[in-house]
Amino acid sequence: MKPDRTLRTAGDLVDAGLLAPELQAEASAVAERYAIAVTPVMAGLMARGDADDPIARQFIPDARERDTTPEERADPIGDLSHSPVEGIVHRYPDRVLLKAVHVCPVYCRFCFRREMVGPEGLGTLSPEALDAAIAYIAAHEEIWEVILTGGDPLVLSARRLADLMARLQPIAHVKIVRFHTRVPVVAPERVDAALIAALKASGKSTYLAVHANHPREFTPEARAAIGQIADAGIALISQSVLLKGVNDDVAVLAELMRGFVELRVQPYYLHHPDLAPGTAHFRVGLDEGQALVAALRGRISGLCQPTYVLDIPGGHGKAPVAAGMVTETGTGCYAVTDWRGQTHTYPPGR
Ligand code: SF4
């Protein structure tokens, strides 16, 4: 049954039948560090009494989140080391992340920014910090693309999103504005004509990267929301995280990628799970990921093929890691090369 509001405590989850009462204390302890939010649409999708349900696994706290392994890091992809001003991450020459808000409609248990998002996280940029971030973008003519991420930028009101776009609009060297969001899938009721209009600005091309990890997430409501965005001429690309017990199965991945294409969302990135604290139970080995991606090649249309990527720990950027693109070092580790040509060692990571 679908609740009428977002569930935010372990008690809410118990009351909704999504958590066994004997697990409430453990889940509350996890939530002291990593917030809970399960939207009505996602709660309605979960199989009651099945902790292994692929939707439940993504959002219901697990005691294993309190175990941190030696290779895990609070900032696994090195945002902070590439942040020249608050709210900006400038890792590659031609693009920046603009993190206007660190709030999300749901809190994913595997989140790579889990130490930054949530009620105890970095919050929303102050007006002064936003001014400084916009000034940074305006002053750096090499910035061709601004990627709004967070947190989830689509938790902002249409008015605030329109204001943000209005501030980017006069910056002539910015041609592309990309939003990374879970909203069309997990909170599709937020998508309406006003929100879609707010994402556009004259002289800019808007891209929206939709985050979904399992084909069941494509509910009728999500399909309608994504269809509305596509009809408005906003280009749609996908992002998914390869997660143990959620989508580490070739049939599930094939259905997920086909689902995106059927919704006019171009498959873009399949992320190897990051070394975020307390997420070891979600991680698959690089060898398993490579085998899954290779199996997809023979199975589904070229339109449906994502690029399998790893964010190299320490902020060295993304690297494609499909079979043949990384080398085993003989110690169980892998050698992976960043976009500058420098080689880094990556742990086995299971
Ligand atoms: S929506 Fe994105 S940023 Fe927010 S918790 Fe999920 S993965 Fe993290």
Question: Is residue 146 within 8 Å of residue 177, measured between CB atoms?
Answer: yes
The confidence score (pLDDT) of residue 79 equals 80
Catalytic site residue 274? Answer: yes
* pLDDT top residue among 113 and 178: 178
The confidence score (pLDDT) of residue 244 equals 97
What would the pLDDT profile of 146-169 be if each residue is shown by its tens digit? 999 979 999 999 999 999 999 999
Ligand 1 within 6 A of CB of 107? yes
Catalytic site residue 304? Answer: no
State whether residue 216 is helix, strand or coil.
helix
Residue from 219, 257, 217, 254 nearest 237 by CA: 257
Catalytic site residue 64? Answer: no
The confidence score (pLDDT) of residue 271 equals 97
Strand 235-241 with 266-271, pairing: parallel
State whether residue 313 is helix, strand or coil.
coil
Ligand 1 within 6 A of CB of 79? no
Mean pLDDT, residues 106-131 taken together: 89
The confidence score (pLDDT) of residue 349 equals 58
- Give the Å distance between the CA of 330 and the centre of ligand 1: 34
Q: Is the pLDDT of residue 145 over 90?
A: yes
- Average pLDDT value for the chain: 94
* pLDDT top residue among 119 and 287: 287
- Count other C-beta atoms under 10 Å from residue 173's C-beta: 12
**CA-nearest residue, atom 6 of ligand 1:** 108
The one catalytic residue among 111, 136, 178, 308: 111
What would the pLDDT profile of 1-27 be if each residue is shown by its tens digit? 788 999 999 999 999 999 999 999 999
Q: Is the pLDDT of residue 299 over 70?
A: yes
The percentage of residues in the chain with a pLDDT greater than 90, rounded to a whole number, is: 77
- Give the Å distance between the CA of 149 and the centre of ligand 1: 9
**For residue 186, which atom of ligand 1 is closest to its CA?**
1
What is the DSSP annotation of 14-37?
HHTTSS-GGGHHHHHHHHTTS---
Catalytic site residue 318? Answer: yes
What would the pLDDT profile of 116-125 be if each residue is shown by its tens digit? 888 777 878 9
The percentage of residues in the chain with a pLDDT greater than 70, rounded to a whole number, is: 99
- Give the Å distance between the CA of 331 and the centre of ligand 1: 33
What would the pLDDT profile of 34-67 be if each residue is shown by its tens digit? 999 999 999 999 998 788 999 999 999 999 999 9
CA-to-CA dists, residue 338 to 285, 289, 318, angstroms: 19, 19, 7
Ligand 1 within 6 A of CB of 90? no
CA-to-CA dists, residue 348 to 157, 309, 319, 345, angstroms: 42, 15, 16, 10
Q: Is the pLDDT of residue 109 over 60?
A: yes
Ligand 1 within 6 A of CB of 118? no
Ligand 1 within 6 A of CB of 152? yes
The confidence score (pLDDT) of residue 350 equals 56
Q: How confident is the model at residue 207 (pLDDT cuts 50, 70, 90)?
A: very high
- Give the Å distance between the CA of 28 and the centre of ligand 1: 19
Tallying the residues shown for the chain, one arrives at: 350
